[in-house]
Each structure stands twice: as C-alpha cells, then as structure tokens.
Amino acid sequence: MKKLKDQILALLASPDYRPVDEIHLARALGLDKKQRKLLSHEVRLLAAAGLVQRVKGDRLAAAQPEENDLITGRISFRQSGHALVVPDRRINEKGPAEPSYFIPAEETNVALHGDRVAIRIEAKSGGGRIPGRGAFGGEREQRARVVRVVERARDTLVGQLKRVRNAFYVSPDDPRFVHDISVPDPATSLPRGGIQPGDKVVVRLKSWTERHRIPEGEVIERLGKTFEPRAELAGVYRKFDLTPEFPAAVLAEVAELPDEVRSEECVGREDYREKAVFTIDPDDAKDFDDALSLEEIDHGDVRVGVHIADVSAYVRQGTALDKEAQRRGNSTYLVGTVVPMLPEKLSNGLCSLVEAKDRLCKAVFLTFDKRARLKSTRFANTVIRSRKRLTYKQAYGLLFTDDLTAIRALPLPAKHQTGSTGRALSSLSDHELGDLQTWIRRLWAIAKRLREQRMAAGSLDLDMPETKIYVDAEGYAERLERIEHDESHQLIEEFMLAANESVALATREKRLPSLYRVHDEPDAEKLAELRDLLATFHVKTNDLTRRPEVVKLLATLSQHAQGYSLRTQLLRSLKKAVYRASPDGHYGLNKSDYTHFTSPIRRYADLVVHRVFGQALVKKSGGASDSARRAVYSAGQMDSLGEHLSLTETNSQEAERESQKIKLVEFFERELQKKVKTRFEAIITDVRGQGLFIELTESMTFGFVPLAALSDDQYLPTADGAALMGRKSKRKIGLGDRLEVVVAGVDRFKRQMDFKPA
C-alpha cells in the first residue's frame, strides 16, 4: 500500500498530469480490476489527510502544498443543489465579517447540508441572485469550491423509505439534503420492524467519499407512516435530538419535591400574597414565569413589581435535574406540543405562577413618579399568590373596553392545555373587575411611556406578527391565526425589558461572573447588500450603519406592501443574539447592559442569572458566610455556558421552524380536500417568467402562482420584469398587487405550495 500511495502522489505531482477520475487513474497506474478497490481506499486516506483533492466534480489532483488559502466553515444547501458556506471566522470573531461563499452544485464535492468543510475561493460571482426558487435572491457571494469535508454534521437522517424494483432508498425529509440515500432491504436489518415503503424511518449514514456514487446508509428505526402527525413529530425529535421524557434519576429527584409551597419556604421573603398581583400570557400557555404587582406609594409614586418564578429554589446546582436542564438549555415549543426544559411537576406546577397558589419568586421593584419616570430599583425574594391569570386577549379587552358585560364575555384560556384556569372573568364582581381594569390601565400608562422613551433612544422595533397553528385532537393542522404584537403584549414586554436591564446592570457593577444577552453590531457589508436589495423594491435608504437610518427604514417597511418579507430580510442582515460572559451590549435594544432573567422555567440562561442574582442579594445583606459569598460560577464556566446555551437555542429555533413548516404544508394540503376552497388574500412579492411569487397576508405564508394558472389570458413579462401583462386584455399583474387565491397544489417533500386565482 505504501508503494501504491507513493505511485499515486508521484503521478499527481508530475508536470504532465491532468486531473482524471479514479477509473482513468487506475488505467494510468496500470492497475487491474481487482486492485481498483485498493486504489479507492488509498485515495480516501490521502484525501482525508489533505494530500489529494477532488476538482471539477470527481477528478483527482494533488492538494496545494500550502493550505493558507483554504477557508473552513459550515455549508448550507439550497434545494437547487447550490450551497453557501459561512466561514468559521465570521462566527467566532467580533471584527469585520468575512463574506459567505457561493458553491455551485457541481463543486460541492461530497458535502452534505450542515457539514463543516474546507473551501478554496475561485472567482467572484457577478452579483446576481443565487440560482433557485424563492421570492428573494441571495447576496453577492464570492464563488468557491469544496476541497474536502472536515467534519460531518450528523451521522443519521430522517426520511421516507422508497422502493424502485428491488432497490431501496431513503428520501430525506429536509429538502436541503439533495441526495437520496441507498439502503439495503430494511427487512434484513430490522426483521421485526414491519417496515414498508412509505414509512418514515431513521437511516444511519455510511462513509461517503466518492461523489459519483450515491450515498449509502442503513435503516435503524421506523417512526411511523410518513405524514402521520406522530411520525412527523418523532422525525423532528430525532433530527434535532429532542427528548420529551426525562431520565429516571431526574424523575426520582423531582418526586422528592413538595407538591405545594411549604410555609417554612416563605420565611425571609417579602409577602405579596394579599397584594395586587396577576399574570398575562398566551391563551394556550402551560408555564407562567412572570407576574406583575402594582402599589401606589408616597407622593403619587407607583411601585411595579416584576415577580419571576424562583426556579433556583428547587433546581439545585449540580443535581441530576440541573444537569439535564443544562443539557437541554431551553424548552422547545413545537406546533401542538412542547419539549420542556424542566419536568411537568415544576414547569406546570410548583414553579408556575398559577392563579390562587402560593409561589416563590425573585423580584425586581421599579418605582416610577407621576410622569412615569423611573426613580429607583431594588431587588428581593418574594412569595406571591396571583389574583388572576389573564390571556393577552383578555388584557387587551380590559385596556380598551369599558363595557363590563363585553369584558365578561371575553373567551377563557384553553383549559385542556393550561389545567386550572382559575375564576372566569364572568364570575368576578363589578368591584373585582374594576380593580383589575384599573391595574392594567395604570400599568399600560407606564409601559407606554417606557416604550416611547426606548424608541426615542434608538431601540429598534423588530417585533413581527406570528402565525399560530392550532391542531385537532389527532394532531393535524386545523386552523391558522395571526398573532399581532399589540398593546397587551407590549405592556408585559416593557416591564420584562426593564427588569432584565436592571439585573444586568447590578451584576456588572458588583463584578459577579454572569451571563449576558449580547447582540453585536451588524456588518457594514451585509447592510450594504440589504440596501441594494431594498432598492429593487423601490425602498430608498441612506447609510444603514447609522442607527437613525435603520429606525426610519423600519417605519417605512411598516407601511410597505411587502413589509413582512422585507423586515425578514432586515433581520437576516443583523447578527444573531447570543449568550456571553461579557456585557458587550445589545444592538437591537440599544442597551449597554442586558441579560435574560424573566423566563427561568423555559431558559437555563435565566436560571443561571437567578443564581447570580441570589448571590447579589446575599452580598447586599452582608450577613452570609464566606462560602455563601463565593462565586456560584467562575468566569470560565460562564464562557462555556454561553457557547453551549447559544447552540441549544439555535437548535430549538430550527426545530420550531421545522415544525411550523411541516404543519403549514399539512394545513394547505388538507385545504385541497375541501369541496369549497378557502379564499386567501395574497400580495405579489416577485414576478418571474414562470409565474408569481406571493405572500398570504393573514398567515405570512409564501407560495407560487404558475403562469398556467392565469387562465383568463396569455400573460407575458413586461419590459422591466416587474409585472405580467395580458396579451389581449392588457391587464397588468405586478409587484405589490393583491389578489385572492385558492390552493392548487402542495409538494410535501419540497414544502412548496402552488396557488391559483380564486
């Protein structure tokens, strides 16, 4: 083998050598058919060692003597087979960002979506859009090719088992995995599984080193029938390594915890059980992290208490429960279900600030004067008993409706999802209902002022409407509801922001190792690319590296026909917020000190900050022993935690997006089965020769109207490409126009929907 290795390297290094594939290389080396397997094995070893590289598809060449020009990064595929690589340095460094690189489909080598790869820059591309279907194009990436795979992102995939004659293969669920996986007959590996073509399965990937060969794998698990809700959910669990169940050791620890708060646990805490305290949450919320209290004090001042569930009182550092919560990092909210960070006894019970139950909290007290100006801040451990569990819809009604009869008719929370909902609004007396309304309106007056001050100081209004997908009893997508970020949401948001900022400031000033929520400044190049994209939609902007210009842009987009889509592009141009041990500021909020403190039931970062917060309270009291004064975490531990929790957050966000995509496509596929089709209002976001890209205004869902669906005339693109014009009628259909559509076709695998005019 050593001799063969030397022969290969000598041939590839010879001046007359021109890159060829393995078959021609074997001929050049004078190898017979039996020796070709040995050649393939040796080539794989040389490629892994970085001595041989593949060029122009599967042709072999000697690697460059120096690799200083190689760039490593994560590769992200498009459905077209083309890919982008985001360099590692762009992620890890705070300096100027390196651009992403465009990899043509034929230059992706044996990379799969998410792999870490080494690439070599070849030339600059022209600056147009990345090929492929979509409402918006890409950036002006430099062109590059994949030299080798440095690290595989995963060794398993989820997909549908298919059969063609006697051959089996798995078609991955994720359309970004552009290769099918060849598998042996599953009956040979899982004889008792009863696996049939059409089943959703998990396949373990084998080594793939030759691009001209189809990737191979082995089916290791059956999840169910493809497109059945349970199977789809199981697929998301497997893809993102999510586990609804908890280890036995964790459940054993939780079983030892009390069912209710014990009287001795309330000793030493400020007692807010008889004061005006209540919660406001989504209709289907299962865990309640935060509550607000309101007190009128001397000289017309108002004290607002932000009471946050004291999870640290039950989840002790270093326990099995704590380690599992840290591993998960956060709760993951999928459509119709949740993978909690903490077991249900804590997340929905002992720690959840449910109505009429004693609960332990950590609180931030904010004192405001008559003009809603913040005068002082203090911190405390408290015990509360929520007077009322309100939904956002109920809070909105209390804010803007004076008719008590109409308020009493506001809908209840979803009881089957939230357990006990407490007393209905209809059961409250006029006096109780009047008090509740007074509290909420008083709090909104302060929150509104805080919001105005924040926006005037340059905070960016990046809140986006959301599409809530509701499922039926069998788990199928049943209806869509658009959730607006209205005043009831803003009321809660402003006090949570104020509490997070005040805790971050306190931990920094006390020089305690802690976790901060950091949002770095965006890259000038990314903003310049955004500016060019906006110009194609006739949105004129100045220098977006100046914050006032971004504020003006957001105001413009709030009134723009394609506002949602363009705001999404703006968000993609900004850096991602992360957890970090250093208080490096938050660009979006325009705050120098910011952390996450207000959701410890569902975010481990907040639990960490609670422990640091507890240490700050001990230091303030001055009566604790030296051991109690010691740092809960070291600076090094905080660094590691920040990196880990940023990764778990990203994983959960991707799982949630995946769940949303699956259920959206499922919803529209079910629409196809209806005799009377639902009419959806849509806006045209892009015009192509093949048809129109649209966005449904209610659900913010993207789709396509093929040219053939415009059956009333023959439509052709106008000279500027911004519209289609009917050949006979001269009717123009263009960018920003609105039309009513019905579902015409759904591709579950590509996750694409086609529509036609209603």
| Opening angle at CA 421, ends 418 and 427, nearest 5 | 160
pLDDT-based confidence at 46, cuts 50/70/90?
confident
H or E segment and range at residue 221: strand 217-225
Residue 469 has pLDDT above 60, yes or no: yes
Q: Secondary structure of the chain: what % helix, strand, coil (to 5)? A: 35, 25, 40
- Distance from C-alpha of 571 to C-alpha of 554, rounded to nearest angstrom: 11
Q: What CATH topology corresponds to 674-757?
A: OB fold (Dihydrolipoamide Acetyltransferase, E2P) (2.40.50)
| Mean per-residue pLDDT of the chain | 88
Q: Name the CA dihedral angle for 116, 120, 121, 123, rounded to a multiple of 10 degrees.
A: -120
pLDDT tens digits, residue range 578-626?
999 999 999 999 999 999 999 999 999 999 999 999 887 875 654 443 4
The CATH architecture that domain 2-62 belongs to is Orthogonal Bundle (1.10)
Exposed / middle / buried, residue 748 (Cβ in 10 Å: 0-12, 13-18, 19+): middle
- Angle, helices 635-672/320-328, rounded to nearest 10 degrees: 60
The candidate with the shortest Cα–Cα distance to 202, out of 145, 259, 155, is 155
Q: Residue 6: how many CB atoms within 10 A of its CB?
A: 10
What's the pLDDT score for residue 97? 54
As beta bridge partners, residue 754 has 704, 745
Residue 179 has pLDDT above 50, yes or no: yes
Residue 307 has pLDDT above 80, yes or no: yes
Q: Can you name the CATH fold of 156-226? A: OB fold (Dihydrolipoamide Acetyltransferase, E2P) (2.40.50)
CATH code assigned to 70-151: 2.40.50.140
Strand bridging mode 388-391 / 277-281: parallel
pLDDT at 739: 93
Domain residue ranges in the chain:
2-62, 70-151, 156-226, 248-519+578-663, 524-573, 674-757
Residue 58 pLDDT > 90, yes or no? no
**What is the 3 state secondary structure string of 265-291?**
HHCCCEEECCCCEEEEECCCCCCCCEE
Q: Same topology for domains 156-226 and 674-757, yes or no?
A: yes
Which tokens go with 693? 């890209």
Instruction: State the pTM of this model.
Output: 0.84
Residue 551 · residue 621 · CB < 8 Å: no
Inter-residue contact 564 to 464 (CB < 8 Å) = yes
Q: Give the count of beta carbons closer than 10 Å to the beta carbon of residue 536.
A: 13
Using DSSP, state whether 416 is helix, strand or coil.
helix
Query: 201 near 161, Cβ under 8 Å?
Result: yes
3-class DSSP state of 168: strand
Instruction: Give the integer Cα–Cα distance in Å for 569 and 554.
Output: 12
The answer to which of 258-262, 369-373, 424-428 has the lowest mean pLDDT is: 424-428
Q: Give the pLDDT score at 49.
A: 67
pLDDT tens readout for residues 4-25: 888 888 888 887 788 888 888 8
Cα angle 113, 688, 541; round to 5: 80
